[in-house]
Structure 1
Amino acid sequence: MGVRHFLATSDGEHVQNPRFLQMMAKEPAAAQRHLATFPRRTRRRTKKHRDAARKVAAIHVKIRRQRLDHHHKAANTLVAEYDVVVHEKPNSAGMTRSPTARPDPGTPGGFPAERGRREGRAQPHCPRRGLGTVLRNPGAEG
Structure 2
Amino acid sequence: MSTLTKPNHMGRKISRIRELKDMKQEALAQAMGTNQQTVSILENSEEIDDEKLKEVAKALGVSVEAIKNFSDEGVINYFNTFGDNSFTNGAFNASHCNFNPLDKLIEAHEQQVKLYERLVQAEKDKVEYLEKLLKAK
Q: Which has the higher helix share?
A: 2
Q: TM-score, normalised by structure 1?
A: 0.26
Q: TM-score, normalised by structure 2?
A: 0.27
Q: Which has the higher strand share?
A: 1
Rg larger in structure: 2
* More RCO (CA 8 Å, sep 6+): 1
